[in-house]
């Protein structure tokens, strides 16, 4: 449907960070990630991101979602667009967007592209109660675009205009590359400004339009930590309002932080101080209590997550997790399971109705259905160099304080005696016991305590 150039080369000095400005996170996702998401959802086929400061960080994050151009030295926004010459031979429209404006939605980009039809260059504008020092949009008596006048050049009447330039452009790609060389750096900063394209297109008699964004708050640019916090707050409210309209109960929306990509079923209840990042999917009739953190997690219907952390993992319906449990690295938990207090699971699968109630670590394991773990069980999966897997078949009973030294295979309906260290496979229906036989020394305890 079109192309886009993301201007992301600047250092963002006011952010005071060792990271690229566009890598600062809004609601758990870097700014540049929000922009790429919105452009892709708007139907943009080809994105070129212009990088400079910490460009390798941006490349590593976006990967193949974008092509890249390097702006070095950084000589202004117009110069940055010139660097994206991989698009020079493309047809159609090209969006020019700022890498520090992550709140512009896909719907706004779609509408902007649609409204740009019939124009050679289109400017996205916004109406502000307090337009400050933004460049004013000057229209004729019919409402057609005439020019942009920078604030310092405005007369008193023009300063009263509330429609201003948002700094986002849509241009016919062939004309864009035809006229880019005409931008000059005849200014105090000796930089090339993309805003000069407007006057250049006008001077060649080209048709220019101005499209007013419906929500001026979307145009928010982020230059420092205060603005970053404002953007987080704005997007949080937007996401939370959407979820509540879809039938999700948020006990305290002001203190609930949910990714824009989250999908949550109706009648699910989210308590305050819950954080969800990335692609989180939660079914219907779930309860997520305070202190929970979910990232890239999939939760089935009628589950409870109690003050626990779940990352990169899936949980089937009617399963309870927590309090204070941790699931990570690709866990897949079946239906009607119980994962209780202070349990950690890593790269592990649980079958239907398996119980692991307290103080247990299960890593790199394949666990069947209706298995029961006692308190204090550990899968000993790492020898200092390699990770090994533990396999536990259906119906096994793992006694308290058992160590399973992987690789080891526990058969169906096998029993592992409490306190055992299991180093060999246990057959179906068998009992594994590996502990020193107890011996009592008469009077030794009292003698020791009386020392």
Q: Where are the alpha helices (DSSP H) in 162-256?
A: 173-179, 196-203, 225-245
Catalytic residue among 34, 204, 326, 358: 358
Angstrom CA distances, 23 to 86, 228, 293, 294, 349, stand at: 24, 11, 21, 21, 34
Q: Are strands 136-139 and 145-149 parallel, antiparallel or unpaired?
A: antiparallel
The rounded distance, in Å, linking the Cα atoms of 365 and 258 is 31
The rounded distance, in Å, linking the Cα atoms of 259 and 251 is 17
The rounded distance, in Å, linking the Cα atoms of 44 and 67 is 13
The rounded distance, in Å, linking the Cα atoms of 424 and 406 is 9
Q: Judge if the upstream peptide bond of residue 407 is cis by omega within 30 degrees of 0.
A: yes
To the query of whether residue 19 is one of the catalytic residues in this protein, the response is no
3-state secondary structure of 242: helix
Q: For 432, how many CA atoms within 13 A lie in the half-sphere containing its CB?
A: 29
Annotated active-site positions, please?
358
């Amino acid at each position: 449907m079109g192309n886009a150039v993301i201007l992301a080369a600047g250092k963002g000095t006011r952010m005071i960070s060792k990271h690229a400005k566009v890598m600062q996170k809004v609601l758990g996702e870097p700014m540049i990630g929000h922009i790429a998401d919105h452009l892709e959802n708007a139907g943009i086929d080809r994105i070129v991101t212009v990088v400079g400061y910490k460009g390798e960080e941006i490349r590593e994050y976006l990967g193949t979602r974008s092509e890249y151009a390097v702006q070095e030295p950084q000589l202004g926004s117009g110069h940055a667009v010139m660097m994206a010459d991989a698009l020079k031979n493309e047809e159609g429209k090209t969006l020019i967007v700022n890498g520090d404006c992550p709140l512009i939605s896909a719907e706004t980009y779609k509408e902007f592209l649609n409204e740009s039809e019939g124009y050679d260059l289109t400017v996205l504008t916004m109406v502000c109660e307090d337009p400050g020092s933004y460049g004013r949009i000057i229209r004729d008596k019919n409402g057609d675009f005439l020019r942009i006048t920078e604030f310092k050049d405005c007369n008193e009447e023009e300063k009263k205009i509330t429609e201003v330039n948002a700094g986002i452009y849509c241009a016919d790609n062939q004309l864009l590359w035809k006229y880019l060389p005409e931008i000059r750096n005849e200014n105090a900063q000796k930089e090339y400004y993309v805003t000069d394209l407007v006057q250049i297109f006008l001077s060649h008699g080209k048709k220019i339009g101005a499209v007013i964004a419906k929500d001026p708050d979307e145009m928010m640019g982020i230059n420092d930590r205060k603005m970053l916090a404002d953007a987080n707050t704005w997007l949080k409210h937007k996401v939370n309002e959407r979820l509540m309209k879809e039938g999700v109960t948020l006990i305290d929306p002001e203190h609930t932080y949910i990714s824009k990509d989250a999908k949550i079923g109706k009648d699910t209840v989210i308590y305050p101080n819950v954080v969800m990042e990335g692609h989180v999917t939660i079914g219907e009739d779930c309860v997520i209590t305070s202190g929970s953190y979910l990232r890239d997690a999939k939760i089935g219907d009628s589950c409870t997550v109690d003050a626990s952390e779940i990352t990169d993992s899936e949980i089937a319906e009617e399963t309870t997790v927590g309090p204070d449990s941790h699931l990570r690295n690709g866990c897949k938990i079946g239906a009607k399971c119980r994962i209780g207090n202070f349990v950690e699971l890593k790269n592990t699968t649980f079958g239907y109705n398996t119980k692991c109630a307290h103080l247990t670590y299960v890593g790199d394991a394949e666990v069947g259905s209706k298995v029961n773990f006692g308190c204090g069980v550990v899968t000993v999966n790492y020898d200092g160099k390699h990770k090994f897997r533990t396999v536990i078949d259906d119906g096994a009973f793992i006694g308290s304080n058992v160590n399973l030294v992987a690789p080891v295979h526990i058969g169906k309906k096998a029993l592992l005696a409490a306190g055992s260290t299991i180093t060999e496979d246990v057959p179906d229906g068998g009992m594994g016991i590996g502990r020193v036989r107890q011996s009592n020394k008469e009077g030794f305890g009292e003698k020791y305590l009386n020392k």
